[in-house]
Structure 1
Amino acid sequence: MPRRADAERNRTKILAAAREAFADPNATVSMAEVARRADVGMATLYRNFPGRRELLEALYTEEVDAICAAAGEVDGFVPWLRRFIAFSTGKRQIAAELLTHVDGTDPVFDGGRARVMAAGAPLLTAAQEAGTIRADLTLEQILDMVIAIARIHGDADYVGPILDAALAGLAPS
């Protein structure tokens, strides 16, 4: 059943406020803080997201949707990887908190990873066939490398050259 327009606006405001709050690695984000930032009442927040986990899952899923959509918007594999590192950096706190609530495998993470792999695979195949990316690397290996770089603490001036060096290493010798 489709949501009313005002209910959809409230959901969008809540997600935007939560995304901004969780982007601050030093912030301790409560549900009350999300409601305050979104300028909605607690009942509205809980009507949309019955608990913290549901809110975090919605944020994570939204970000996976964005990186998958980016695969069709960018011109090539390396630009998509640059979007992926921004995605990985931005979801660090969300994923870390979600992992505290998960035992073993989780459909949100497993489904998200599968979707990202499916979105990136054609880009990697095209780049490898064009001879711009080494053929001995899998998408999983490359994404693991990018995720490791995304975990490095530092601003863009610090992490950027590390990413550039790693991406240069993807080219065939």
Structure 2
Amino acid sequence: MVDGNTAPASRPMRADAQRNYDRILAAAEAAIARDGADASLEEIARRAGVGSATLHRHFPSRQALLEVVFRAKVEALCHRARDVTTDPDPGNALVTWLRAVVEHAASNRGLAAALMRGAHDGDPTFGATCHSMITSSGVELLERAGQAGAIRPGVAIGDLLTLANAIAMATEREPNGAAEADRLLTLALDGVHPLT
């Protein structure tokens, strides 16, 4: 994975460099959520309180920055899956996580598509790695929900992730996209509950 950090792996970043790196990431996440994956790098640097040279020292290309932002979002989604496994209701845990998947996908605002367009400039295994991380996180939740009888047999994690991503894409330009995505997810999930 391209991590953007140009410091040697054996040597940690200086404290000021780490602060700049963290501020750039936070500014990039906010800019992508607001303006999409084509957000201005100059605006990201300005909002982070650093110069363009500092941004490019940490992230030599737009692709490198996008990969780090996306990977952080994927890791947060995987942590969320682990967090919800404590819910005593496996069906509720799965639904809670799927809502997080929709929120994740909606907040990317073209990030995944931009990463695919620039894949030749970055880590060639990046997309597959992120997809595998998300799928693995959801499989355990789906299996628990299936064992509890909270979901109909034959539903695969790929089915649920496809639904979640399609809903996020369909609503990302809506004025009240988050609420519309949540409503559509609820409607779709009603269809995967076991027949009574």
Same fold (TM over 0.5): yes
Matched to 2:139, the amino acid is: A
From 146, 150, 153, the equivalent of 2:164 is 146
Q: CA deviation at 1:59?
A: 0.5
String of CA shifts for 1:99-157, please: whole Å, max 9, x gaps. 22136x94111000001111111110000000001121110111101111111132233
Residue 142 of structure 2 aligns with which residue?
124
Trace 1:2-17 onto structure 2 (pairs within 5 A): 2-17=12-27
2:36 and 2:111 in contact (8 A); partners too: no
- For residues 37 and 71 of structure 2, the distance between their equivalents in structure 1, rounded to whole angstroms, comes to 21
Trace 1:1-173 onto structure 2 (pairs within 5 A): 1-25=11-35, 28-74=38-84, 75=87, 76-102=93-119, 106-153=124-171, 154=174, 155-173=177-195
Q: CA deviation at 1:34?
A: 1.0
- For residues 104 and 36 of structure 2, the distance between their equivalents in structure 1, rounded to whole angstroms, comes to 18
Aligned residue pairs total: 172
1:89 and 1:150 in contact (8 A); partners too: yes
- For residues 82 and 189 of structure 2, the distance between their equivalents in structure 1, rounded to whole angstroms, comes to 20
Kindly indicate whether structure 1 or structure 2 has the higher relative contact order, using CA contacts under 8 Å at least 6 residues apart: 2
Matched to 1:80, the amino acid is: W
Segments of 5+ residues of structure 1 without an aligned counterpart are none
TM-score by length of 1: 0.92
- For residues 27 and 123 of structure 1, the distance between their equivalents in structure 2, rounded to whole angstroms, comes to 30
Q: CA deviation at 1:30?
A: 2.0
Q: CA deviation at 1:28?
A: 4.9
Give the alignment's Cα RMSD to 1 decimal: 1.7
- For residues 27 and 63 of structure 1, the distance between their equivalents in structure 2, rounded to whole angstroms, comes to 14
